[in-house]
Amino acid sequence: MVVVAIAGGTGYLGFNVTPALLSHPSKPTVRVLARSRSERVQALEEQGAEFRLVDYKDPASVAAAVEGADVFISTIGTKEAGPEVKVPLMKAVLGVKSVKIIIPSEFGIDHRAVDFPQKDWDGKKAVMDVLTSQTEKKIISIYTGLFMEGSFGPWFGISIKNKYVEYIGSDEPVSYTSLSDVGRATAEIVAKAAASPAEVPAALYLRICGDSVRYSEVATIFGEINGTAIEVRHKNLAQFKETTLDGDRNTAACLRFLMGQGDLNHSKDCGNEWVNPGGKKWTWTTVKDFAEEIEGKPFGGEV
Ligand SMILES: NC(=O)c1ccc[n+]([C@@H]2O[C@H](COP(=O)([O-])OP(=O)(O)OC[C@H]3O[C@@H](n4cnc5c(N)ncnc54)[C@H](OP(=O)(O)O)[C@@H]3O)[C@@H](O)[C@H]2O)c1
């Protein structure tokens, strides 16, 4: 039986990935690594997960917690833990013989397209540098675009409450994936890769997307559900980009111009077929499905 160890499995994303692993038909043993036996850990134990207490500052503690696992996944957050936590963590995991496949905490933009220094993606790149400096273990990076549940808000130029969407540059398609689809996709990827690790390339970069829609389409979808017109605005890309890069390069603002450059369009070079051939394993949630589910009110209508 495949043993999967997951670090960060209690978090915003991890609490979707861990249950998806636990309920996958391949029935892996799922081991949750966490810094304390929190309520979320206990909830996951009730669903069948094993728990390992871990001190990320101590490589021996990490190695002992991961020992015997075939697959290691990190869904540790980006804001709370940068490369100072994740690089030593991955070095410790690389030292564990049983591990054949490593999935680092990516789950966002395919940052190979990001050609400027930025704190969050520099941290992710530092982890990838360590992982791709070896070929003994297979590395799978899962790029999901934006999480649907967290993305229809003013930080990305969208306010359904104030009836506008605002894109930067071009009205390019932007890829969104629901948290539960990210969980399902990760569980499928683990099952498929663990079944025949020899067939997985040394570094596999999988861009997936539940749906890819333009800002103007977001306006139409939410406008129809709310029975109102949503204004579509736009800003000049060169100007917005220059101001953002001259400033603190906050992640949301950088993502806004990257969207306008088409860098968050995962429908190009998309790995959905690898993960969910013909959509036969499950039906991806579309932005329209999501908008209907929340009755057209992102964040309960607060934004
Ligand atoms: N595409 C998108 O729209 C989007 C949005 C949000 C996040 N993401 C990405 O998804 C991934 C997971 O993010 P998240 O927001 O789900 O993470 P999160 O909830 O902030 O954190 C996940 C877990 O990481 C552990 N953790 C927190 N701080 C830590 C530290 N200093 N050292 C070690 N462990 C720590 C905690 O587990 P324990 O306390 O149980 O140890 C926590 O439950 C990241 O790569 C992030 O960039 C993408």
Instruction: Please give the domain boundaries of the chain with CATH numbers for all domains.
Output: 3-145+178-209+266-282 (3.40.50.720)
* CA of 179 relative to ligand 1 center, distance in Å: 13
Print pLDDT tens along the chain (303 aa): 999 999 999 999 999 999 999 999 999 999 999 999 999 999 999 999 999 999 999 999 999 999 999 999 999 999 999 999 999 999 999 999 999 999 999 999 999 989 999 999 999 999 999 999 999 999 999 999 999 999 999 999 999 999 999 999 999 999 999 999 999 999 999 999 999 999 999 999 999 999 999 999 999 999 999 999 999 999 999 999 999 999 999 999 999 999 999 999 999 899 999 999 999 999 999 999 999 999 999 999 999
Residues in contact with ligand 1 by the CB-under-6-Å rule are 8, 10-14, 34-35, 38, 56, 75-78, 80-81, 85, 105-108, 144, 146-147, 150-151
Closest protein CA for atom 19 of ligand 1? 11
Closest protein CA for atom 48 of ligand 1? 108
Q: Which atom of ligand 1 is nearest to the CA of 14?
A: 16
Q: The pTM is what?
A: 0.98
* CA of 74 relative to ligand 1 center, distance in Å: 9
Q: Which atom of ligand 1 is nearest to the CA of 81?
A: 31
How confident is the model at residue 113, as a pLDDT? 86
* CA of 162 relative to ligand 1 center, distance in Å: 30
Place of tokens 């996951």: 44
Sheet with 203-207, side-by-side order of all strands = 50-53, 29-34, 3-7, 71-74, 101-103, 138-143, 203-207
How confident is the model at residue 268, as a pLDDT? 87
For 228-251, b/e burial (b = at least 16 CB within 10 A) is eebebebbebeebbeebeeeeeeb
* CA of 13 relative to ligand 1 center, distance in Å: 7
* CA of 37 relative to ligand 1 center, distance in Å: 16
